[in-house]
Structure 1
Amino acid sequence: MKVYVDADACPVKDIIISEGRSAQIPVILVTSFSHFSNAEQPSGVETIYVDSGADAADYRIMKLAETGDIIVTQDYGLASLGLAKGNIVLHHKGFRYTNENIDQLLQTRYLSAMARKGGKRTKGPKPFTAEDREQFKKLFKQIISSLE
């Protein structure tokens, strides 16, 4: 098992790396070249750089992930693909994507996009909070321990 992180805008990379290392689960950060860093990652953590094009990180994650791997993303499209492939897919705000909730999430995203296209203003995501961070950490640890 491995953990793949859609890492460009992921605010919980440090939690994933820390908990992944503790459980000896490899962590792969997939990020665009525009976020390139010479910083050395700890053992068990790999960074894969992809082009800055739309969905480049998503395509690479889907190419690499195997059934049962964990994917952390805020992208509903990637979450949907991961679920179809048999992955465990988590959002950084501490909820798990499921076959039961993904259709509603995709529908809401579509309706918001259509409203914006029609000139209406829609609300953006709520700010990421310390509570979200703790909720993610709790869920991530729970998922890892259930797979051991």
Structure 2
Amino acid sequence: MDIYLDSDAAPVKETVTRLAQAHGIKLYMVASYLTELHSDYATIIHVDPSKEAADLEIANRIRPGDVALTADLGLSALLLARGAYVLNFRGDAITDANIMSGLAVRHANKKRRRQGIYAHNPARSADDAYKFEQALDELLSMLQGRTL
């Protein structure tokens, strides 16, 4: 099992690095080469700055049972189809049971933006940070307890 972090605008880099290291799990941070990343633990993968380059890199590398961390629902759908476990940066598990409703909301919001109507996404809070850390730690502990 490996962890892939969609790192371009990820607010969880330090938390993910700390937990990956504590659990002894390989961490890959994937981002545009325009994003400055440094880590003594993670393997950093820089890709070109085109819109979907990081997503495609993650989708091509992910294997069943790997963990992916992203805020991108389109990427989440691809990764679920590849057998990955997916968490967003608020600590919500993205699953086969909820991905379609998330994609529907994303589509509706995109249509509204084209009409000049913008939805307000609340800023990530301290509670979200705590929830993310707890969810990732629990997921990694659960997966390490499995016999594969």
TM-score range, shorter chain: over 0.9
Aligned length: 144
In the TM superposition, what are the counterparts of 1:67-82 in structure 2 within 5 Å?
67-82=64-79
Cα deviation digits, residues 41-62 of structure 1 (max 9, x gap) = 223x100001111111000001
Cα deviation digits, residues 19-66 of structure 1 (max 9, x gap) = 1001100100001011135x4x223x1000011111110000011111
In the TM superposition, what are the counterparts of 1:56-71 in structure 2 within 5 Å?
56-71=53-68
User: Is 2:49 the partner of 1:49?
Assistant: no
Paired residue for 2:119, among 123, 126, 129? 123
Offset at residue 123 of structure 1 (A) = 1.4
Q: Identify unmatched segments of 5+ residues in structure 1.
A: none
> What letter corresponds to residue 17 of structure 1 in structure 2?
T
> What letter corresponds to residue 80 of structure 2 in structure 1?
L
Do 1:30 and 1:47's aligned partners in 2 also have CA atoms closer than 8 Å?
A: yes
Structure 2 CA distance for aligned equivalents of residues 5 and 80 of structure 1? 15
Offset at residue 143 of structure 1 (A) = 0.2
User: Is 2:89 the partner of 1:92?
Assistant: yes
Do 1:74 and 1:92's aligned partners in 2 also have CA atoms closer than 8 Å?
A: yes
Moved over 3 A (4+): none
2:133 paired residue number: 137
> What's the Cα RMSD here?
1.0
Cα deviation digits, residues 68-110 of structure 1 (max 9, x gap) = 1000000000000011111000001010001111101100110
2:80 paired residue number: 83
TM-score of the pair, normalised by structure 1: 0.94
TM-score of the pair, normalised by structure 2: 0.94
Structure 2 CA distance for aligned equivalents of residues 36 and 134 of structure 1? 25
